[in-house]
Amino acid sequence: MLKLGVNIDHVATLRQARYRDTPDLWRSEPDPVAAALLAEQAGAHGITAHLREDRRHIIDRDLQCLRDSISTPLNLELADVPEMVEIAIRTKPYIVCLVPEHRSEITTEGGLDVRGCEASLKRTTQRLNDAGIRVSLFIDPDLAQIEAATRVGAQAIELHTGRYADHFNRKDERNVELQRLIQSARAAYSAGLVVNAGHGLTVGNVPVLHVVPHLAELNIGHTLISRALFVGLTAAIQEMLDVMKGYRP
Ligand code: PXP
């Protein structure tokens, strides 16, 4: 069964828009932890949160609360920098997804350059694994990056579906992106990696993504929180789970 990891960063973004300077104010809302609990009740198989170095959405306190309260696996997205690795080791999520991070970006814009940072990613993966934490690498669907991810010793990859989503309405370009995703998923699976995917996915583009083999989990945030404004989070998640049911691994 294809699993759904719900990314709750976007709930925290809304809270920080009002309460960034008064994080301990009792009435700060909306609470991303409450959203995570609701997502679990709605059928989410996991919760994803990204602690950015600039703390623009998720803050340290959220992580601890998430760790203490959710019952599905926590997927913690982090940049490969010492401060974040220490936080991950203290928090002990089920899995860490290492992502590239640039302060000026609105959201994670590209995949990790695993080949370019192989030595550091290998060290970090080993440290996290030694602490009992699995490691995933957020990468573009590129065979050279998959090979590098294997050498690094990661347990999983998350294929960046942003280009697929961006080109969805142009069939030829969409098919090129789909082919890249299909080949990458095959190569990663053959190398023993768990294959996840995410970024820019919606109920409109997920059904076409079903042609990509070996997918274990989709990580989805923006569209679910956007849709929740109109139909509520439970309904938004159930709509997504419904379209994911058609996936045949
Ligand atoms: N996966 C990763 C690694 C991400 O950084 C993000 C964006 O926060 C997502 C998945 C979810 O992307 P979206 O919000 O577009 O669904």
Domains of the chain by residue range: 3-244
Task: Considering only CA atoms, give the Rg of the chain.
Answer: 17
Judge whether 76 and 63 are in contact, CB under 8 Å: yes
Instruction: Report the atom number in ligand 1 closest to the C-alpha of 162.
Output: 15
Q: What CATH number does the domain located at 3-244 have?
A: 3.20.20.70
Residues labelled as active-site residues: 50, 77, 199
97 lines ligand 1 (CB under 6 A): yes
User: Among 97, 101, 105, 107, which is best to mutate for testing ligand 1, by the most ligand atoms less than 8 A from CB?
Assistant: 107
Confidence of residue 110 (pLDDT cuts 50, 70, 90): confident
Residue 160 φ then ψ, to 5°: -75, 115
User: Among 75, 102, 199, 205, which is best to mutate for testing ligand 1, by the most ligand atoms less than 8 A from CB?
Assistant: 199
Which residues are paired to 60 by β-bridges? none
Residue 72: the pLDDT is 98
Percent of residues, the chain, with pLDDT higher than 90: 90
Assigned token pair, 159: 């294929």
* Nearest C-alpha neighbor of 159 from the set 221, 201, 102: 201
Confidence of residue 103 (pLDDT cuts 50, 70, 90): low
User: Among 3, 7, 95, 158, which is best to mutate for testing ligand 1, by the most ligand atoms less than 8 A from CB?
Assistant: 7
Listed range (22-36, 113-127, 171-185) with the worst mean pLDDT: 22-36
72 lines ligand 1 (CB under 6 A): no
Distance (Å, rounded) from C-alpha 224 to C-alpha 116?
33
Listed range (23-37, 76-90, 113-127, 175-189) with the worst mean pLDDT: 23-37
Contacts 24+ apart (CB under 8 A), 117-120: 117/80, 118/148, 118/151, 118/152, 120/80
Residue 153 above 70 pLDDT? yes
Instruction: Report the atom number in ligand 1 closest to the C-alpha of 10.
Output: 14
CA-CA-CA-CA torsion sign (9, 11, 16, 17): positive
Concatenated DSSP letters of 176-207: HHHHHHHHHHHHHHHTT-EEEEESS--TTTHH
Tens digit of pLDDT for each residue in 53-94? 999 999 999 999 999 999 999 999 999 999 999 999 999 999
Confidence of residue 27 (pLDDT cuts 50, 70, 90): confident
CA angle at residue 155 from 192 to 134, to 5 degrees? 155
Judge whether 51 and 58 are in contact, CB under 8 Å: yes
Confidence of residue 105 (pLDDT cuts 50, 70, 90): low
Give, in order, the Cα–Cα distances in Å from 78 to each of 74, 85, 128, 144, 154: 12, 8, 12, 22, 14
Instruction: Report the atom number in ligand 1 closest to the C-alpha of 223.
Output: 16
Q: What is the pTM of this model?
A: 0.95
How far does residue 127's CA lie from ligand 1's centre (Å)?
Answer: 24
CA angle at residue 201 from 229 to 116, to 5 degrees? 125
Residue 26 above 80 pLDDT? no
Helix (H) or strand (E) holding 150: helix 143-152
Residue nearest to atom 12 of ligand 1 (CA): 199
CA 61 to chain centre: 20
Assigned token pair, 160: 């960046």
Confidence of residue 21 (pLDDT cuts 50, 70, 90): confident
Eight-class DSSP state of 73? P
- Mean pLDDT, the chain, rounded, equals 95
Distance (Å, rounded) from C-alpha 145 to C-alpha 166?
21
